[in-house]
Structure 1
Amino acid sequence: MASANPYDVLNSQTQTNPNSSVNGSKSNSGVVGSSANDIQSTFLKLFVAQMRSQDPMNPMDNSQMTSQMAQISQVGGIQQLNQSMQALIGAQAASQSLMASGMIGKKVLVAGSSLPKPPDGGTTPAGVLLNGPAQTVKVSVKDANGNVVRTMTIDKPVAGVNTFSWDGKNDKGEVVPAGKYSFSADVTQASANGSTKAVAYNTQTVTAVAWDQGIPELVLPDGSRAQLGDVAQMTA
């Protein structure tokens, strides 16, 4: 006589020989596989076995079986979503790597206060990043000893990156000697309660591209690195 409990079929098959499947074939991993597809396949086999062995006078609970099937379907959908996300992440990483490789030899505007002296007749671009409104921004160019050699004013600055250029001359209009130069920025607040801060940005040439845990990084002349999201501006 058939069992009154259809789940006795599942229990007897798994407990008698946990390494055997429903159809009696051997399996190294047991009845339940590791993937959502394996779990769903095993569940359907057990479901058919339960249907065949159920007592017609005491059938299995339909709501319980429906709930189990819905859960199995949900697990399969989540696994497929994870696979799609991994493929998307891989494609994005490949796109970023290709973009980063194309930036070798380009000049990028990144956070930093160094300000190389430009060749005669040329200029060195730089910038100041503001996190809010400001009335004016005073840029002070300094030599290696910290002495101010040139002051410039950025009028009507806006929140974000404000660019300027240094022609390699001091306040008297004289060309400064070769050496290391840097700059700082002082903000004149737009209101009495203003708290806008300035971050110096300088121009550097990308010398190479390195990968840190699959993320491309731009290698700069001083050995420092910058990610693509750190670049405020790029020029040839």
Structure 2
Amino acid sequence: MLDEEGSTTFDIYLPEDISSGRVEITDNQGNIVRSFPIDSASAGTLSFSWDGTDDSGTRRGAGLYRATLVFTDDKGVERKAETGEYPIEGVRFDDGEALLKIGSRYLSMNEIEEILGEAR
């Protein structure tokens, strides 16, 4: 989500090491508004910042945007990782409530929409 102040940060979980890739930010119609390359990265949660401008430098309006990391795996197949798709990395209890470590945050079960089995 891009707020009125015009910048945001987001996490994307990378399931494997990559040698290169690109982050694509799309609007709610699926149009790519910003794309930037990334160098090699290790598997895990990667954090990114976006200043709210498109590829031509024009400020985008506040609203919902989707970020996708496009990369080529070690078999040469193009793959994608998106915001919102994270493994559960841990559980901690705070005042009797279970909090799940997902991405770079701890979330209560009330904030979780769906838990899926392990990707194969």
Short-chain TM bin: 0.5 to 0.7
Question: Which residue of the partner structure matches residue 232 of structure 1?
Answer: 103
Give the counterpart letter for 2:83 in structure 1.
Answer: Y
Question: Which residue of the partner structure matches residue 137 of structure 1?
Answer: 21
Q: Deviations over 1:95-122 (max 9, x none)?
A: xxxxxxxxxxxxxxxxxxxxx11333x5
Give 1:102-141 correspondences, 5 Å limit. 116-120=1-5, 123-141=7-25
Question: Which residue of the partner structure matches residue 201 of structure 1?
Answer: 83
Q: Deviations over 1:175-199 (max 9, x none)?
A: 012332112221123x4x2569553
Gaps of 5+ in 2: 85-95, 106-120
State the identity as a percent. Answer: 29
Q: Does 1:187 align with 2:71?
A: yes
Question: Which residue of the partner structure matches residue 173 of structure 1?
Answer: 57
Q: Give the TM-score of the pair, scaled to structure 2.
A: 0.63
Q: 1:141, CA displacement in angstroms?
A: 0.7
Distance 1:179 1:119, change over 3 A: closer
Q: Deviations over 1:69-107 (max 9, x none)?
A: xxxxxxxxxxxxxxxxxxxxxxxxxxxxxxxxxxxxxxx
Q: Deviations over 1:17-65 (max 9, x none)?
A: xxxxxxxxxxxxxxxxxxxxxxxxxxxxxxxxxxxxxxxxxxxxxxxxx
Q: Which structure's residues are more often helix, by fraction?
A: 1
Give the counterpart letter for 2:100 in structure 1.
Answer: L
Q: 1:173, CA displacement in angstroms?
A: 0.9
User: What is the distance in 2 between the residues matched to 1:136 and 1:159?
Assistant: 12
Gaps of 5+ in 1: 1-115, 203-213, 217-226
Q: Say if 1:134 and 1:157, in contact at 8 Å, map to a contact too.
A: yes
User: What is the distance in 2 between the residues matched to 1:132 and 1:146?
Assistant: 26
Q: Give the TM-score of the pair, scaled to structure 1.
A: 0.35
Q: Aligned-residue CA RMSD in angstroms?
A: 2.7
Q: Which structure's residues are more often strand, by fraction?
A: 2
Q: Deviations over 1:141-198 (max 9, x none)?
A: 1111111100022211111111111111100111012332112221123x4x256955
Determine which structure has more spread, i.e. the larger CA radius of gyration.
Answer: 1
User: What is the distance in 1 between the residues matched to 2:12 and 2:78?
Assistant: 12
Q: Say if 2:22 and 2:69, in contact at 8 Å, map to a contact too.
A: yes
User: What is the distance in 1 between the residues matched to 2:100 and 2:78?
Assistant: 25
Question: Which residue of the partner structure matches residue 29 of structure 1?
Answer: none
Q: Say if 2:66 and 2:83, in contact at 8 Å, map to a contact too.
A: no
User: What is the distance in 1 between the residues matched to 2:47 and 2:8?
Assistant: 11
The higher-RCO structure (CA 8 Å, 6+ apart) is 2
Question: Which residue of the partner structure matches residue 112 of structure 2?
Answer: none
Give the counterpart letter for 2:55 in structure 1.
Answer: D
